[in-house]
Amino acid sequence: MAEHLLELRKVSQVYRSGEREFFALKDVDLALDEGEFVVLLGPSGCGKSTLLRIATGLQRPTSGEVLYRGEPLRGVNPKATIVFQTFALFPWLTVLENVEVALAARGVAPEERRRRALEMLDRVGLDGFEEAYPRELSGGMRQKVGFARAMVVEPELLCLDEPFSALDVLSAAALRGELLELWLGGKIPTKAILMVTHNIEEAVLLGDRLLIMEKDPGRIVAEIRVAIPHPRQPQAPDFRAMVDEVYALLAGETQPEPVELGSAPGEPGRIRALPNVPVVSMAGLLEALAATPGGRQDLYKLASELQVDSDQLLRIVEALELLGFVTVAKGDVALTPLGETFAEAGILARKEIFASRIRRIPIFRWLLELLEAAEGGKLRGEVVQRALELQFPPAEAEKQFGVIVNWGRYAELFAYDDTSDVLYLETVPAQSK
- The residues that touch ligand ADP, with contacts defined as CB under 6 A, are 15, 17, 24, 44-50, 218
State the nearest-atom distance from the C-beta of 218 to ligand ADP, in Å. Answer: 6
- Are 250 and 220 contacting, i.e. CB atoms less than 8 angstroms apart? no
Find residue 37's DSSP bridge partners: 193
State the nearest-atom distance from the C-beta of 106 to ligand ADP, in Å. Answer: 27
Which residues in 93-129 are b (16+ Cβ under 10 Å) and which e? ebbbbbbbbbbeeeebeeeebbebbbebbebbebeeb
Nearer to ligand ADP, 13 or 171 (CB): 13
Q: How far is CA 321 from the centre of its chain?
A: 19
Query: CA 385, CA 399: separation in Å to the nearest integer?
Result: 9
Query: CA 429, CA 433: separation in Å to the nearest integer?
Result: 7
Nearer to ligand ADP, 16 or 135 (CB): 16
Query: CA 403, CA 392: separation in Å to the nearest integer?
Result: 14
Q: Which of 176, 209, 234, 211 is nearest to 35 (CA)?
A: 209
Nearer to ligand ADP, 141 or 246 (CB): 246
- Are 250 and 200 contacting, i.e. CB atoms less than 8 angstroms apart? yes
Laid out side by side, the sheet with 332-335 consists of 296-298, 332-335, 326-329
- Give me the torsion for CA of 264, 267, 272, 274, rounded to 10°: 20
Nearer to ligand ADP, 55 or 102 (CB): 55
Nearer to ligand ADP, 171 or 197 (CB): 197
Q: How far lies 372's CA from each of 124, 163, 366, 424, in Å? A: 64, 50, 10, 9
All residues at 6 or more sequence positions from 48 whose CB lies less than 8 Å from its CB, including other chains: 40, 42, 161, 196, 213, 218
State the nearest-atom distance from the C-beta of 292 to ligand ADP, in Å. Answer: 31
Q: How many helices (H) and strands (E) does the chain have?
A: 15, 16
State the nearest-atom distance from the C-beta of 127 to ligand ADP, in Å. Answer: 34
Query: CA 143, CA 160: separation in Å to the nearest integer?
Result: 12
DSSP-based three-state secondary structure for 103: helix
Nearer to ligand ADP, 46 or 328 (CB): 46
State the nearest-atom distance from the C-beta of 42 to ligand ADP, in Å. Answer: 6
State the nearest-atom distance from the C-beta of 215 to ligand ADP, in Å. Answer: 7
Nearer to ligand ADP, 24 or 39 (CB): 24
Nearer to ligand ADP, 25 or 117 (CB): 25
- Are 325 and 338 contacting, i.e. CB atoms less than 8 angstroms apart? yes
All residues at 6 or more sequence positions from 392 whose CB lies less than 8 Å from its CB, including other chains: 271, 273, 400
State the nearest-atom distance from the C-beta of 222 to ligand ADP, in Å. Answer: 16
State the nearest-atom distance from the C-beta of 162 to ligand ADP, in Å. Answer: 8
State the nearest-atom distance from the C-beta of 51 to ligand ADP, in Å. Answer: 7
Nearer to ligand ADP, 48 or 351 (CB): 48
State the nearest-atom distance from the C-beta of 262 to ligand ADP, in Å. Answer: 18
Nearer to ligand ADP, 62 or 406 (CB): 62
Phi and psi, residue 68, nearest 5°: -120, 120
